[in-house]
Every structure is written in C-alpha cells, then in structure tokens.
Amino acid sequence: MTYALVSLSIPLLSALVLMLAGARLSKRNAGIMAILTSLLSLVAAWFCLLDVAAANQSILLNLGGWENGLAIRLRLSPLSSLLLLFAAFMHVLIGIYAGFSRQSVSRDFWTLSCVLHGSLAALWLSADLFNLYITLELLGLTAVAMVALAGKKAYKPASNYLILSLVASLFYLLGVALVYGRYGSLDVVLLGLQTQSDTTTRIALLVMTAGLMLKAALWPLHLWLPAAHANAPTAVSALLSGLVVKGPIFILWLLWSEVAPVDLAQQIGPVLAVAGMIALVAGGLSAMRSPYLKTLVAYSTVAQLGYAMMALGLLMTWQLPQMHVALWLFVIAHGLAKATLFLAAGEMQTTLGTKRVSGLRGATQTVPVAMFAFAVAGGSLIGLPPSGGFLAKWVLLEPMLSSPQNWPWAFGVLLGTLVSAAYIFRVVAISFDRARINPPDVRPDRLGHWLALLPALMVWGMALIGEWLIEFLSGGGV
C-alpha cells in the first residue's frame, strides 16, 4: 500500500510545486520535472503491482485510522495496481511527446497533467462513494482546463464540456446522497453487503448510472465528446481519450459489480449491453463519415467504449467473472491504441498541413512511420490477432459462442468489428493513393512519429503477456 500512496502523492506534490513556481521555472524545466514525476510514479506503481501479485488479494487502508464506516477507505486491488501502472505509463509517454516533439504545449499543460495523473490515481484507489465523487470532479475540471489550452477556438467547446461535466457529477452526487440516506454508509465494501433492491436503491443507482454514462460519453450521452476531444491539443486529446473517460467507467463497474444487488444488476445489464451494441455501430458510422481526421478518431472512441459497455452489461446479466477480464482488457488495449491514433493523427496534421482525411493522400510515402503507427493501432481497434484488442474480444466472445442462445450478442460484436474495419481502412486506403500526393509542408518530426508508434507496438505486445494478464485480472478482479 505504501507504494500505491507514493504513486498517488508524487504527482499531486509535483503539481503543487509547479503551480507555486509558476513562471520562475522555465517551460522546458517544468516539462522535465513533470516527466520525471510520472516516471517516479511509474516505478512506484510497478513495485505496488509486485506487492499485490505477491499478496494475491486486495489491501485495504482506513485513512486517519478511523474505524470502518466512518473512515474514507482506500483499496489496492490487482486491477487498481494495473490501472495505476497504465495511467503512469501513459503520462510518461505523452509527457515525452509533449515535451520533446514539435507539437509545443504551454507551461500550464505540465501542472494540469500532474493534477490529472494524481486525480486518476486517487480514483483507482478510492473505495468510498463520496471520495469517488471528489476524484470525478477533479478529473472533469482538469480535463476541461486542458481542452481550453488549445486556445481561443477551444473556449466554447470547453465551456460546454464543463457544464455537461458538472451536471453529470451532480447526478452522481444525488445518487450518493440517496444511498447514504438509505444505508448510512458510503463504503463500497460495506455497501456491497447491505444493499437490497428496493425503490430508493433503484433510483439512486439509475441516477448515478446516468451521470456516469454522461461523463464517460457512453451512447446515447456521447454527443459532447467529439467536439471536446477533437478541439484539444494533440497530447491532451490522447490523454482524454486514452485515460479520462476510463475513470467514470471504473466507478460504473464498481457500482454494478459490487454495490448493486445481483437481481437489480441482472435487470439493467441487458439494457447497457444493447446500448453498447448501438454505440459500436452508431459511433463507427459517424467515424466513417467524418471529414476531419481528429473527429474520426474521437468518434472511434465513442464506438470502442461500446465494447466496454457491452462487456459491463453482459457481466451484470450473466455474472461471469470472465467479463471483468474482458472489460479491463478492452480499456487498456483501447487506451494504448487511442494514444497512438491521436498522436499519429496530430503528427500527420502538422506535417501535411491539413485537418481533413482527404488530405492524407500519399501519406504512406510522405509520413510513413506515423501512418504505419495509425494502421497498426487501428488493427488492434478492429481486433486483429494477436493484438490486445483481439485478446479482449476473444475473452468477450468465448461465453457468447459456447451457447446458442447468446449468439445474437456475438452478432453485435461482429457488426462492431466490421464498422471499425471500415473507418480504419478508409484512412489507410486514402493514404495509399500515391497518384495524387498531398505534399508535406515540413519535414516529418522523427521523434514524434516514433513515439506515436510505441503504444501501438505495446498493444500488440499485450498478446505476449496475455495469459499472465488474464490470470492476474481474474485472480482477484476486485
């Protein structure tokens, strides 16, 4: 647990220092400090993963030494240690990209990225509904501020995003108040033992679910996401799509897999799974038709979150532990792949001087590394073996294919795969049009391109540790 606390507090402390130092620290030094912070946090998260793997169970900590029920509890489960590692890795990678590639960021980026890292780490570790509300609010405010970093044009989308994010957290807070009024407890573990499916619990859980779905941009509450994610600076888009939307999903999963009574979860599960299926198709079709590259990638986030929602819905319906594994494999595989897609898209945009998909003609020749990264990460989104996306999809498909009454769900996955393939291949096909090349404005930035490729290779490398990952996550999903 000590390592987890270190991994959580380093970014927060560093954010404080960066904020107090302000202009006294040059932009470059601020960047180096933020990257070192994420690196230290990454090392701590690694040790914490080893700890949990050795203990093979969740570790609980009552803050301030108060007794159960009054204390704010932190919990380090195998999953949260993995997510700590994942968040820290993404911050290191995107930090290096933001600091050393040609895409310059303003000084405030570094402070905000440290706050974002800290609040994500706090979210993974919290096991208290109100504490989760605080982390959710922190995450939302930081994300909005980061979108606004893109400058004047982004203020409007940022303020819309902020209002929606506030409303979503208020819905969640209403649910928390109702739960506390009914059971007199906010602790996730204690609530799991107490909850019954009566009207108050039902209303509370539905209100919380609506709020969290809005925050995570799950269909049909996704409309704010493309504007916010496509208008942010490249490094921020990658952080938002890869990490920030995963926070509310974590809380949603915590609510339905632990807090909610089983019979209620079984009633709501199919609804969420169907919404996930629609998200896959609707998001995919929007991505297919989008004229702008970054909007295409943002809509693909909407579509891919459909898989996560489907895994969650089916987890609730069937109560199969395997679905935990599918859900979190999707989340991690999507985070890595989406980081690549946004970084590659940003690189191609600056090099080719166009925001449109049609401007990518001949990209295989002019920006080969970035285009290769885009295609490779796209392969994982489609679910081509042996990528991380394939691994997740395989775990999801296994129980569907084993019994004939589940085949309609498998059809949904198949449809989603086809639509993903359609929008990825649309970009790849245009990039092979070497007859009418769109000449690059500037020489490609080598570092940026190779950095974009790195997470794509990692997501394909996930297959190498696939067995260990599945075992680790199913050993104690909670």
Which position among 12, 71, 167, 421 is part of the footprint of other proteins (CB under 8 A)?
167
Is residue 204 at the binding interface for other proteins, with CB under 8 A as the rule? no
Is residue 144 at the binding interface for other proteins, with CB under 8 A as the rule? yes
Is residue 156 at the binding interface for other proteins, with CB under 8 A as the rule? yes
Is residue 359 at the binding interface for other proteins, with CB under 8 A as the rule? yes
Judged by beta carbon, residue 154 or residue 288, the one nearer other proteins is 154
Is residue 348 at the binding interface for other proteins, with CB under 8 A as the rule? no
Strand 59-62 and strand 73-76: the pairing is antiparallel
Q: Are 287 and 299 in contact (CB under 8 A)?
A: yes
What dihedral do alpha carbons 312, 318, 320, 326 form, nearest 10°? -30
CA distance 272 to 253: 12
Is residue 181 at the binding interface for other proteins, with CB under 8 A as the rule? yes
DSSP sequence for 415-474: HHHHHHHHHHHHHHHHHT--TT----SS---HHHHHHHHHHHHHHHHTTTTHHHHHHHHH
Kindly identify the residues of this chain, within the stretch 423-442, that bind other proteins according to CB under 8 A: 438
Q: Which range binds other proteins by CB under 8 A, 51-59, 348-356, 368-376, 404-412?
A: 348-356
Structure tokens of 267? Answer: 């009633």
Which position among 67, 152, 199, 405 is part of the footprint of other proteins (CB under 8 A)?
152
In SS3 terms, 360-381 reads as: HCCHHHHCHHHHHHHHHHHHHH
Number of residues counted as binding other proteins (CB under 8 A): 43
Q: Are 93 and 454 in contact (CB under 8 A)?
A: yes
- Report CA torsion sign: 213, 88, 95, 19: positive
CB of 208 to other proteins, least distance (A): 12
Which position among 94, 162, 298, 316 is part of the footprint of other proteins (CB under 8 A)?
162
Judged by beta carbon, residue 124 or residue 161, the one nearer other proteins is 161
Judged by beta carbon, residue 156 or residue 446, the one nearer other proteins is 156
CB of 180 to other proteins, least distance (A): 7
Q: Are 225 and 302 in contact (CB under 8 A)?
A: yes
Q: Are 358 and 466 in contact (CB under 8 A)?
A: no
Which position among 22, 151, 368, 385 is part of the footprint of other proteins (CB under 8 A)?
151
Question: Which residues are near other proteins by CB under 8 A?
Answer: 70, 104-106, 130, 134, 137, 141, 144-145, 148-156, 158-159, 162-163, 166-167, 170, 173-174, 177-178, 180-181, 184, 186, 233, 350, 353-356, 358-359, 438
